[in-house]
Amino acid sequence: MEATGTDEVDKLKTKFISAWNNMKYSWVLKTKTYFSRNSPVLLLGKCYHFKYEDENKVLPSKSACTIEDRIIAGNVEEFRKDFISRIWLTYREEFPQIEGSSLTTDCGWGCTLRTGQMLLAQGLILHFLGRAWTWPDALNIENSESESWTSHTVKKITSSFETSLSGEREPETPTVSLKETIEKCPNDQEMQNEIFHRKIISWFGDSPLAVFGLHQLIEYGKKSGKSAGDWYGPGVVAHILRKAVEEARHPDLQGITIYVAQDCTVYNSDVIDKQSASMTSDNADDKAVIILVPVRLGGERTNTDYLEFVKGVLSLEYCVGIIGGKPKQSYYFAGFQDDSLIYMDPHYCQSFVDVSIKDFPLETFHCPSPKKMSFRKMDPSCTIGFYCRNVKDFERASEEITKMLKISSKEKYPLFTFVNGHSRDFDITSTTTNEEDLFLEDEKKRLKRVSTEEFVLL
C-alpha cells in the first residue's frame, strides 16, 4: 500500500511539473522583430536587402520595418522563407524517459544541446540539400496562425494544465502532410529534397533510436562525466556532436565527419585525414567535414572588438552557425543586421513528436519568426561551425576563413588559426585523444572557477 501511495504521488508530481513547464517555457509573445530597410541582413552567408518596390511610396514614420509588415517587398519574403526553412529544435516534454533518470523533458537544462543540434542540422542540410534549398511550405506556417501567439499560448497553458491533471495528452495541431507537400513538388528533385528534409529532422527525434536525438547525445556526454539534467557548455557539446557523427551507422551518414579544433587551432592534415579515411579502391570519394571551433570572445564579458569577427564568420558561405547565447541561456546564432545578431531560441517547450511515424508533423521543427539580440549581450563562450563538402572545398575554405580572420581581427593574434601539418607534429597533447574525456581543458578550468550562481538554467 505504501509503494502504491508513493507511485500516485510521483504521478501527480509529474503531471504538475508538466503543467508548470508548459506555463514557464511556452509563454512566447509574438513580439515583432524590427529590421532596418537601409542595412543588409546576413543569414548564414546569404545577403538580403529590405527595400520597398516603389521608392516613391511614402514610408511609415518609423525608420524600421518588421518582417510581418505586408507592405514591405524586396527580399523580405525570400529572407523569411530562408529563415523558416532552417531546422528549429527546442525544449520538448513527454518524450520517452531518458535512461538512468526519471526525466521525460529537457526543459531548464537542455538548451545548449538543442543549439548544438540546430548547428548540426544546418550542416546536414548543406550536405544533402544545399544552401539554396528552402522548404516549399515555409511561408504557410505563419499564415496559418490567424491568432497571436499570446492568445494561443494562454489557451495552450489552460488546456495543458487540464490535460496534465487528467492524464490525457493534448491533440496534435493540424499538419502539412507529406502527400500534400510532395504533390506541390513539380519534379523528382524537389520530391527527393522533401524526403531528405523529413529524414534529417527524424535523425533529431526525441527517442533513444534517433542518431542525433537528445537521448543519444546524453549517452555520449556520460563519457565526459555529464548526465541528463546537467549544464552543457558549447565546447563540450562540440565533442559530443563529433562523437555522435562518428558513431552514426546510417548509410546516408557515412560521407560526413566532424573535426573539433584543438586549442583554437585547426590542423589541416588532421582534417584531411578524417576526410580521406573512407577512401579505398572501391570508394574514391573524400568525406565532407563539419569543423567546430570552440572559442572565447573575451574574459567574463564579450569583447566588442570581436563584433567584426562574428559578422565575418556569419557572412561566409561555409558557416553553419554559432552555438552561443547570453550568459544565462543558449541560442543558435545564424545571422546579423548592423550590431544585432539574429538567432533561433530553443527555450520554447513543445510536445513530443513521434518522428518514426511516416507523416509526422513538421511545423514545430521550423521557427516562424527570427529574434534579434545586441552583440554586447552575447556570452563570450561559443562554438563556431563550418561545412566543407570535400578536401578541395576545405582547402579553399581555410584560405578564405584565414583572410577573414586577418581582416576582422583587431587583436595581434586571431581567435583561431589554420596550421599546416598534424597536431602530433607540434607535440600537442590533445584532450580529445582519450575518448573517455570529451572536455576541453579550458572548459574544465572555466567550470571550476565559475560559481553555480552564474548560470541560471532557463
Output b/e per residue, 335-359; b: 16+ Cβ within 10 A: bbbeebbbbbbbbbbbbbbebeeee
Cite the DSSP H helix spans in 137-233. 138-143, 149-166, 178-184, 188-202, 214-222
Active-site residue (options: 127, 215, 347, 366): 347
Active-site residue, 282 included: no
C-alpha separations of 366 from 36, 86, 159, 324 in Å: 24, 6, 23, 19
Torsion of CA 28, 132, 357, 334, to 10 degrees: -30
Active-site residue (options: 82, 106, 107, 111): 111
Active-site residue (options: 82, 270, 345, 379): 345
| Burial of 241 per CB tally in 10 Å (0-12, 13-18, 19+) | buried
Active-site residue, 347 included: yes
Residue 438 to residue 236: CA distance in whole angstroms: 7
φ, ψ (nearest 5 deg) of residue 404: -60, -40
* Residue bearing cell 575518448: 435
Q: Which residues contact 330 (CB under 8 A, 6 or more apart)?
A: 111, 112, 114, 115, 234, 323, 324, 346
**Cell for 99?**
535512461
Find the angle CA(223)-CA(348)-CA(50) to the nearest 5 degrees.
115
Residue 418 to residue 408: CA distance in whole angstroms: 16
Residue 157: how many other CB atoms lie within 10 Å: 17
Residue 154: how many other CB atoms lie within 10 Å: 14
Give the active site residues: 111, 345, 347
